[in-house]
Structure 1
Amino acid sequence: MIFERSLQRELAYTAGAVFMVLLTIMLTTMMIRIVGFAASGQVDPRDVVVLIGLTVIGYLAVMLIVTLFVSILFVLTRWYRDSEMVVWLASGVSHTRLIKPIAVFSTPIILLIVFFAFVGWPWSNQQSKLIKARFQQRDEVSLLAPGQFRESPASNRVFFIEKMSPDQGHVENVFVTSTEGGKVNVIVSKTGHTETRNDGDRFIVLENGRRYDGEPGQPNFRIMEFERYGVKIQSRQVVNTPATTGISTPDLLANPTKDNLAEFAWRAGLPLIAINLMLLAIPLSYQNPRRSRTINLVMAVLIYLTYSNLLNVVQSWIEQGKLSFGVGLVGLHILVAALVGFIFWLRVRNRPLFTRAMFTRSKGA
């Protein structure tokens, strides 16, 4: 039918444009955030692009939900504004007949949301955690950068080197300070290199330098000169605490703890949110020529933010044991579905969702 083909074609064009805008915003935001982590030494600069890609994959389900909701709302609102909807309604097309073509268009997107919610989200979080843990487990020499003060994550030491060879085997003009038992040790050296013992221990061997030992505020500092001085390189031991966001969906169900069930309820809620918002966009798109053109978009943003925040609240309640898993899994979505049905009923009977009297009364109050 011409009506269905026209609607689905315009929905596809609009959804593509909305998704590209959301993707651009997401990439820009993640780039600023992750580059900041790399600048502060929390992640490897060489992993920035990979981490950005993994983060985008993790949030694709949310981006697709917003894309679906906004694209349907935009297209139908434009039809009302340009009187195209009036023509279709006069031709015998009812509001309920909009559901079929919109559902056909939305089905592939909802399937993608299911995939990224149950597979993409945990996989991207797991890979991001592995990359960050691998970077944090590097030894102290790997964290050094010429011309910068770097604090050791494994001990109370601060390093500064002026120059370093590309293979990190030789350094020049080294400054090392550490605190042990209330005493401050300061070591300065002109040159140095790394050595590995037979037992696997690694050392920075400093040459032609001095060591200053003493307590701050006390005059009894000891000054020692040395030709060779070894500083043991320590590695940070990272304790991998399990995070539910990185656990695969089958493992969540295999180990049904409160945290795991709450995470599963959150993942299952994403496609249910997409279905409810898909249906809600049909009656919400009604455009009154006398009303502001931006009110539909404002309402869409408020509805989505409220819905997603309520899903997070439900997840928290399941974790705390305040809400049972079954009720938390479907309760919120059933309530929203009932609300959508009521709004549909108002739209079919040509009753306004918001009246001027409502706003007048609220102003008078």
Structure 2
Amino acid sequence: MILFRYLTREVLLTMSAVAGILMLVIMGSRFIRYFASAAEGDFPVTILGSLMFYHLPGFLELILPLAFFLGILLAYGQLYMNSEITVMVACGMSPTRLLRVTLLPASIVAVMVGLCSLWLTPAGALLNEATIEEQQSRLDVSVLAPGRF
């Protein structure tokens, strides 16, 4: 039980660090693209935060499997480098049991990715398009001012 928690914590901490770094890179790129569109006048700067938030599940859908894979590689690589896996095998932990220990965090990540891809990403895309269309319709009307020709 202690070994299970230790391995799970190592994998999930490494995965979250990798996911955080990848999320910063991807969100930064998307933010620059949206900021350029806002500078051109396509939509106001005030909705940038909500547009980024609506794209977040789509980014997570792509980043989480990659981050989990890299988390497993980095965490188990560190365990092998420190000879901790050798000690675990010497104490009777088989590679099959090690695989079963890894399957719980893998199933958690799979559920999160499934939730993002089946429900959150389509809902975010709909809200994103609705927000952009609403702001574009407001911009068309806001150009007209009373008393001006």
Q: What TM-score do the two structures reach when normalised by structure 2?
A: 0.86
Q: In structure 1, what is the Cα distance between the partners aligned to 2:139 and 2:77?
A: 58
Matched, 1:35 2:25: no
**Kept after mapping to 2: 8 A contact 1:14/1:71:** yes
Stretches of structure 1 that go unaligned for 5 or more consecutive residues are 144-167, 170-193, 196-203, 206-365
Larger Rg: 1
- Structure 1 residue 137 displacement after superposition: 2.6
**Which digits, 9 at most, give the CA deviation of each residue in 1:28-50, with x for residues without a partner?**
22211111111112222221110
Q: Distance in 2 between matches of 1:69 and 1:90?
A: 26
Q: Which digits, 9 at most, give the CA deviation of each residue in 1:104-138, with x for residues without a partner?
A: 12222221111111001101111111111222334
Q: Cα gap change, 1:138/1:96 in structure 2, threshold over 3 Å: closer, same or farther?
A: same
For residue 19 of structure 1, what is the aligned residue in structure 2? 19
Per the alignment, residue 7 of structure 2 pairs with: 7
**Residue in 2 aligned with 1:95?**
95
Q: In the superposition, relative to structure 1, how do residues 140 and 104 fare at CA in structure 2: closer, same or farther (>3 Å)? A: closer
Counterpart of 1:278 in structure 2 is none
Distance 1:28 1:139, change over 3 A: closer
Give yes or no for contact 2:34–2:48 (8 Å, CA) kept in 1: yes
User: d(CA) in 1 for partners of 2:141 and 2:5?
Assistant: 63
1:207-242 Cα shifts (integer Å, max 9, x gaps): xxxxxxxxxxxxxxxxxxxxxxxxxxxxxxxxxxxx
Q: Distance in 2 between matches of 1:21 and 1:90?
A: 36
Shift of 1:25: 1.8
What TM-score, normalized by structure 1, do the two folds share? 0.38
Between the two structures, name the one with larger relative contact order (CA 8 Å, sep ≥ 6).
2
Rounded Cα–Cα distance in structure 1 between residues aligned with 2:140 and 2:24: 37
Distance in 2 separating the partners of 1:139 and 1:56: 26
In 2: Cα distance, 1:126 partner to 1:66 partner: 26
Conserved 8 A contact 1:64-1:109: yes
Equivalences, count: 149
- Off by >6 Å, runs of 4+ in structure 1: none
Sequence identity (%): 25
More helix by percentage: 2
Structure 2 residue ranges without an equivalent (≥5): none
Question: Displacement of 1:142 after TM fit?
Answer: 2.6
* Alpha carbons 1:42, 1:136 under 8 Å: kept: yes
SS at match of 1:117: helix
Superposition pairs of residues 1-365 of structure 1, within 5 angstroms: 1-138=1-138, 140=140, 142=142, 169=145, 194-195=146-147, 204-205=148-149
Give CA-to-partner distance per residue, 1:2-29, whole Å, 9 cap, x none.
Answer: 3322211212322222222222223322
Task: Output the CA distance in 2 between the equivalents of 1:42 and 1:35.
Answer: 10
